[in-house]
A = this chain, B = another copy of it.
Amino acid sequence: MRIVIKMKTTANSAPRGASKPPGRALLQAQISRLGLKHSRQRDLVADVFFAMGGHVSVEQLVAAARRNDPRVSVATVYRTMKLLADCGLAFSRQFDGTQTRYEPAAGRPHHDHLICTGCGTIAEFAEERIETLQSRVAATHGFQVETHKLEIYGRCADCRRGKGPEARP
């Protein structure tokens, strides 16, 4: 089953003129803390990432970053995203098993995902009772929960009402 992910929150990655980049500041803090060095492309990748909203692939990040600086390498994007993930500023997800996707983690509450198998739209939801039941199940098995992943695949409202799997990968 190949899932084509389409961003519903079609965020434009273009750097808004004078808008402040909060994600960049968070990354900068981690960089200082770890004794690493600041760099132009790390800022760029962070800006682009936090501007895009969520569930973005590395491919999308590279494309977006290159709109600002055509010479950023995929390696740098991979390295920067890994840094962000290691710092707890981004979560990495693999919805379809092939590409890794990232979403901002800064101060966002926990949530799980609904993924449309028709158009690839990803919706988020939080259900406290499910979390509770998960902990209970884990306890029953003697497990201490660290993380969990809950993904519900199905057809979204739009795709159900007539619109067949539209051609827009």
A-to-B contact residues, CB < 8 Å: 94, 97, 100, 114, 116-117, 123, 125, 127, 129-130, 133-134, 137-138, 140-157, 160
Residues on the B chain within 8 Å of A154, using CB: 138, 143-147
New A-B pairs, 5, CB < 8 Å, besides A130-B137, A143-B156, A147-B154: A129-B129, A134-B152, A144-B155, A148-B151, A149-B149
What are 10 A-B interface contacts by the 8 Å CB criterion?
A: A114-B143, A125-B141, A127-B133, A138-B152, A138-B154, A144-B154, A148-B150, A148-B153, A149-B153, A150-B151
Residues on the B chain within 8 Å of A142, using CB: 156-157, 160
Chain B proximity of A139: nearest CB distance (Å): 10
The answer to whether B150 touches A150 (Cβ under 8 A) is yes
State in angstroms the CA–CA spacing of A157 and B142 once bound together: 5
Residues on the B chain within 8 Å of A130, using CB: 130, 133-134, 137
Residue of B with least CB distance to A146:
B154
Partner of A160, one of B114, B144, B148, B150: B144
State in angstroms the CA–CA spacing of A117 and B148 once bound together: 11
User: A114-B141, A133-B130, A138-B114 are contacts. A149–B151 as well, Cβ < 8 Å?
Assistant: yes
User: A149-B150, A151-B148, A152-B148 are contacts. A143–B157 as well, Cβ < 8 Å?
Assistant: yes
Partner of A137, one of B117, B125, B138: B125
Residues on the B chain within 8 Å of A129, using CB: 129, 133
